[in-house]
Structure 1
Amino acid sequence: MLVGILQTLRDILKQPALLMGIMAFVGLVALRKPAHKVMTGTLKPILGYIMLGAGADFIVANLDPLGKMIQKGFHITGVVPNNEAIVSVAQKLLGVETMSILVTGLIINLIIARFTKYKYVFLTGHHSFFMACLLSAVLGTSGMKGTELILFGGFILGAWSAISPAIGQKYTLKVTDGDEIAMGHFGSLAYYISAWVGSKVGKPEESTEKMQIPEQWGFLRDSTIATAVTMMIFYVVVALVAGPAYVSTISDGTAPILFALMAGLKFAVGVTIVYNGVRMILGDLIPAFQGIATKVIPNAIPAVDCAVFFTYAPTAVVIGFVSSFIGGVIGMIALGALGGVLIIPGLVPHFFCGATAGIFGNATGGRKGAIVGSFVNGLLITFAPALLLPVLGTLGFQNTTFGDFDFGVLGILFGKASNIAGKGGVILLVALLLVALIVPSFIKTKSNTLNNNIEA
């Protein structure tokens, strides 16, 4: 009975759409809105996130054949980072531990948001689930199990869910021009690094969104058209390299070039669906969060999925994806030269993380920042998975691994600490997290919410 309840709760917490709906509902009730506004204000973020998810699924479905064509055309074999794939494998071994860490982590995140200056409520439930899975694997290798594993894993998850948005909130505010949202995605450190790199190589006023385009190319200002044209060219080139014989095996009988063109067009449609879902989310979630911020958790800020930021710089999305992928290819070649495990550029992490890195790089360094920042992201999400593999225990023997940068950083830190000092190493890092949570409460800052200051 209890296991069934926990599994149901886990399933709810894995759904960002429902988390957003619950938060919107609480906020609207706290604001004492009439029933019909509570209903619409609750449903719109849910529907918007489902729309975002549908668009993301459509993108992923059309990236899959592109990845296969690249591997065939360029004769590449190795490990492909993919969060969903590694988690599906892990659940056969660590299902109960992951579920328990997930629930504990969300509760601790809310407690931290209520009683410290880290006012960020992490709403990207599926990423919380992925991180819970990573922590259950890494902490398990240190010898932790049962209640000890759940409490330590839950604390780490809850603490990082509050701390990671705060680390780069000054950059997030530049991206959103001061909108009251934060980054709730465990690729965040790479995005902040991209923003920092962007500030060193370019100027924010030279934004990708202000690029001068000749009149005859003016149609490229339409983000859907620009994405469609770019991706059709990309798909066709890769299809030609893979060869018509191979493409025919994955095209369900469609002519190879036509298949490539249609896949590029479908990819653009998926991106457009994501944009529309994001607009629906932001239109109702942020006003509803005012209720939570004033009545439940003072000054609370929603930390949301990386795709929510795509609408702030659509051109940087495409530039970021391409530059990150190039960085991934170069990183893979470097790993091969060093004799390491080949990390094949996974198109899903390079699209979502690369696009977001491009947006953050653009916010601080314009076009140059978007290109160089997302290129650095591509290198980061190539080397981090390679270094993560040895600390994953039995999961390290799979042909896939976690793709986004924060998973690599936390996994490597706690894994190495465990290898060096066992449980003691893990406890030391947890103590440092606890200090990081407590100390800011005794420091005077411009904002009641740590780092939520546009002038920072």
Structure 2
Amino acid sequence: MSIINFIIENILTQASITIALIALLGLVLQKKSFGQIISGTFKTLLGFQVLSAGSSIIVGSLIYFGKIFTQGFGMQGIIPSIEAINGQAMNELGLGSQIAFTFLAIFIVNIVIARFTKWKYIFLTGQAILWMSTMCTAFGYFAGFRGLTLIIVGGVIGGIFAVAMPAIAQPFVRKITGSNDIALGHFCTIGYLFEAWVAKLVGDPSKSVEDVKLPKSFEFLQDTYLSVMVVMVPLYLVTAFFAGPEFGAQFSGNANYLVHAFLQAIQFVVGVYVLLSGVRLILAEIVPAFRGIAMKLVPDAIPALDCPVLFAYSPNAVIVGFITTTIGTVIAMFALPSFGLAMILPGMLTNFFAGGTAGIFGNVAGGKRGAIIGGIAHGIFITLLPALLITILNSLGFVNATATDVDTVAAALLYAWIITPLMGLF
């Protein structure tokens, strides 16, 4: 058990190591030279580390923004956190071992399905699988499953999600990337498809947000990073102004609180630059290396990678998706309590990564108008599902806890609304 825990905690949940090892295996299976194997493996590792560094810069900036946003606009409510559910499930329910084995079972079921069916997607976002295993284990436990049955049921359900989500998103991913080389491995996919559906109803895919024509004096905004800066700097400054100098001073140190907000906005842009650099590097290495696995182990296998790999294909849509999803989450935050549901505060990390990806889907399905209207609808949708889940979690003893990744929420609702009542019949 200690060996399995070590592998899961130190390898399978470390995306850069997992992907590098998979690249190594693919290159070995293709009988590449020693130099090519070393080069491909370490460039893949480097690419993911660069991507992760960019993500970390963005996360740090957004954590600050989330705090001043909450303070500036006087918001009080519940912040979704799958980490809190994971901690309570392991520490208070003693399900740590079961979560670890379910994680492993999901990965195995995913590979088996990919090997013996026409759905050839290998889900490679380890952290997302960990959150799925947490939900399946916790809700399976309350459904009445124990021991090996708990692990097998969770592994099958999670494994199906790990194949099904990339599969149903792939028609859009093909349009976004122009190829079938990669898939999307992120458990917010139901939300992306929801935005694409709304965008298709209201938009026009021929009018892409990436093709917006600007006056000559504003042509500099065609540079991705400058356009991001023009949006984020005012957003941070206005929010910091409403939060006030006293609150802002705890983050700014000796600097003026508005100057600090300005620099945090620039940090966000820096994070986007680093992240997209990592994306380009990883895509250049992982796709050729993965062909070895496709040829030898799982014929025609397609790697399902984390959502930032799509950002380079439609950077303007990422920013549109972030802003419109945030608008939608704010609308839902005020609207849902009138229906007897909990007030869910906007999660800026989810709004950027999931909202940005959803914006890409909305743009490819419905163009500029689809990305805007679909993004607002997406924000409402990804707030509604956690609000529905919190009532169930409260009844199970998870106080004021809920999650954001809508696919894991969907798995939890599957247990709560279907599997648990069926178990009650026996």
Structure 1 counterpart of 2:359, one-letter code: G
| 1:391, distance to aligned residue in structure 2 (A) | 2.9
Give the structure-2-normalised TM-score.
Answer: 0.95
Is the CA contact 1:137–1:395 (under 8 Å) kept in the aligned structure 2?
no
Is the CA contact 2:88–2:398 (under 8 Å) kept in the aligned structure 1?
no
Rounded to whole Å, the distance in 2 between the matches of 1:62 and 1:88 is 25
| 1:237, distance to aligned residue in structure 2 (A) | 0.6
Structure 2 counterpart of 1:67, one-letter code: G
| 1:235, distance to aligned residue in structure 2 (A) | 0.5
| Superposed counterparts of 1:353-432, under 5 Å | 353-392=354-393, 397-422=398-423
- Percent identity reads 39
Structure 2 counterpart of 1:277, one-letter code: G
Rounded to whole Å, the distance in 2 between the matches of 1:17 and 1:181 is 16
Question: Structure 1, residues 379-415: CA drift from partner, whole Å, max 9, x if none?
Answer: 1110000111233367763444211211221111211
Aligned partner of residue 421 in structure 1, secondary structure: helix
Structure 2 counterpart of 1:139, one-letter code: G
Provide closer, same or farther for how the CA distance between residues 251 and 59 of structure 1 changes in structure 2, counting only shifts above 3 A.
same
Is the CA contact 1:82–1:346 (under 8 Å) kept in the aligned structure 2?
no
Aligned partner of residue 178 in structure 1, secondary structure: coil
- 1:280 matched residue in structure 2: 281
Provide closer, same or farther for how the CA distance between residues 50 and 86 of structure 1 changes in structure 2, counting only shifts above 3 A.
farther
Of 6, 21, 33, which aligns to 2:4?
Answer: 6
Aligned partner of residue 253 in structure 2, secondary structure: coil
Question: Structure 1, residues 26-65: CA drift from partner, whole Å, max 9, x if none?
Answer: 2111111111111111122221112111111111111112
- 2:148 matched residue in structure 1: 147
Provide closer, same or farther for how the CA distance between residues 389 and 251 of structure 1 changes in structure 2, counting only shifts above 3 A.
same
Aligned partner of residue 303 in structure 2, secondary structure: strand
Is the CA contact 1:101–1:151 (under 8 Å) kept in the aligned structure 2?
yes
Rounded to whole Å, the distance in 1 between the matches of 2:396 and 2:305 is 28
| 1:350, distance to aligned residue in structure 2 (A) | 0.7
- 1:48 matched residue in structure 2: 47
| 1:424, distance to aligned residue in structure 2 (A) | 6.4
Structure 2 counterpart of 1:387, one-letter code: L
Matched, 1:196 2:194: no
Is the CA contact 1:174–1:364 (under 8 Å) kept in the aligned structure 2?
no
RMSD: 1.7
Is the CA contact 1:141–1:393 (under 8 Å) kept in the aligned structure 2?
no
| Superposed counterparts of 1:258-273, under 5 Å | 258-273=259-274
Provide closer, same or farther for how the CA distance between residues 400 and 252 of structure 1 changes in structure 2, counting only shifts above 3 A.
farther
Rounded to whole Å, the distance in 1 between the matches of 2:332 and 2:383 is 6
- 2:27 matched residue in structure 1: 28
Is the CA contact 1:389–1:396 (under 8 Å) kept in the aligned structure 2?
no
Is the CA contact 2:182–2:303 (under 8 Å) kept in the aligned structure 1?
yes
Give the structure-1-normalised TM-score.
Answer: 0.89
Rounded to whole Å, the distance in 1 between the matches of 2:328 and 2:172 is 22
Is the CA contact 2:390–2:401 (under 8 Å) kept in the aligned structure 1?
no
| Superposed counterparts of 1:61-210, under 5 Å | 61-93=60-92, 94-210=95-211
| 1:222, distance to aligned residue in structure 2 (A) | 1.3
Aligned partner of residue 139 in structure 1, secondary structure: helix
Aligned partner of residue 343 in structure 2, secondary structure: coil
Structure 2 counterpart of 1:278, one-letter code: V
Structure 2 counterpart of 1:331, one-letter code: A
Rounded to whole Å, the distance in 1 between the matches of 2:248 and 2:167 is 45
Matched, 1:308 2:334: no
- 1:434 matched residue in structure 2: none
Structure 1 counterpart of 2:2, one-letter code: G
Structure 2 counterpart of 1:217, one-letter code: F
| 1:233, distance to aligned residue in structure 2 (A) | 0.6
Aligned partner of residue 304 in structure 2, secondary structure: strand
Rounded to whole Å, the distance in 2 between the matches of 1:87 and 1:354 is 23
Rounded to whole Å, the distance in 2 between the matches of 1:49 and 1:90 is 30
| 1:281, distance to aligned residue in structure 2 (A) | 0.9
- 2:296 matched residue in structure 1: 295
Aligned partner of residue 397 in structure 1, secondary structure: coil
Rounded to whole Å, the distance in 1 between the matches of 2:406 and 2:326 is 14
Gap runs ≥5 in structure 1: 426-456
| 1:246, distance to aligned residue in structure 2 (A) | 1.3
Aligned partner of residue 48 in structure 2, secondary structure: helix
Is the CA contact 1:55–1:272 (under 8 Å) kept in the aligned structure 2?
yes
Provide closer, same or farther for how the CA distance between residues 77 and 301 of structure 1 changes in structure 2, counting only shifts above 3 A.
same
Is the CA contact 1:325–1:375 (under 8 Å) kept in the aligned structure 2?
yes
| 1:90, distance to aligned residue in structure 2 (A) | 3.7
Is the CA contact 2:341–2:387 (under 8 Å) kept in the aligned structure 1?
yes
Question: Structure 1, residues 112-161: CA drift from partner, whole Å, max 9, x if none?
Answer: 11111110000001100111111111111111122111111111111110
Is the CA contact 2:390–2:400 (under 8 Å) kept in the aligned structure 1?
no
Gap runs ≥5 in structure 2: none
Rounded to whole Å, the distance in 1 between the matches of 2:233 and 2:89 is 36
Rounded to whole Å, the distance in 2 between the matches of 1:396 and 1:251 is 39
Rounded to whole Å, the distance in 2 between the matches of 1:220 and 1:122 is 36
- 1:241 matched residue in structure 2: 242
Rounded to whole Å, the distance in 2 between the matches of 1:57 and 1:112 is 33
The total of aligned residue pairs comes to 423
Provide closer, same or farther for how the CA distance between residues 313 and 156 of structure 1 changes in structure 2, counting only shifts above 3 A.
same
- 1:447 matched residue in structure 2: none
Rounded to whole Å, the distance in 2 between the matches of 1:252 and 1:396 is 40
Is the CA contact 1:25–1:288 (under 8 Å) kept in the aligned structure 2?
yes
Is the CA contact 1:138–1:391 (under 8 Å) kept in the aligned structure 2?
no
Structure 1 counterpart of 2:370, one-letter code: G
Is the CA contact 2:20–2:41 (under 8 Å) kept in the aligned structure 1?
yes
Question: Structure 1, residues 178-209: CA drift from partner, whole Å, max 9, x if none?
Answer: 24111100001111221222222222221111
Aligned partner of residue 343 in structure 1, secondary structure: coil
